[in-house]
Amino acid sequence: MENQHMWYLDRGCSKHMTVDKTKFINLILKHEVHVSYDDNNKGKILGRGTISDKNSFLIHVVLFMERLKHNLLSISQLCDKGY
């Protein structure tokens, strides 16, 4: 079943994040540190990689997360890349 999580633009998020492994065109699995969310919960980083939509739009340095409720695109990270 395809993941139905929507993508949200987040100005408070420092990195792009998703729980959907199928979004990645390349993914390096590794257990890293945790990230803290606004509600003081923590999420475990399971890996990082590049995602793509069906139109070949690439987003690099996306974190693959455990138990994330929404896919998050970091506005600051997009701005740093000139989008």
Boundaries of domain holding 71 = 7-80
Residue 7: pLDDT band (50, 70, 90) is: confident
Q: How far apart are the first and last CA of the chain?
A: 31
Q: Quick check: 3 pLDDT over 70?
A: no
Residue at token pair 């995602």: 51
Give a yes or no: residue 23 inside a domain. yes
56 domain-assigned: yes
pLDDT digits (tens, 9 = 90+) for 18-67: 999 999 999 999 877 888 877 788 889 999 999 987 776 789 999 999 88
Q: What is the CA radius of gyration of the chain?
A: 12
Q: How many domains does the chain have?
A: 1
pLDDT at site 1: 38
Residue 2 is assigned to a structural domain of this protein? no
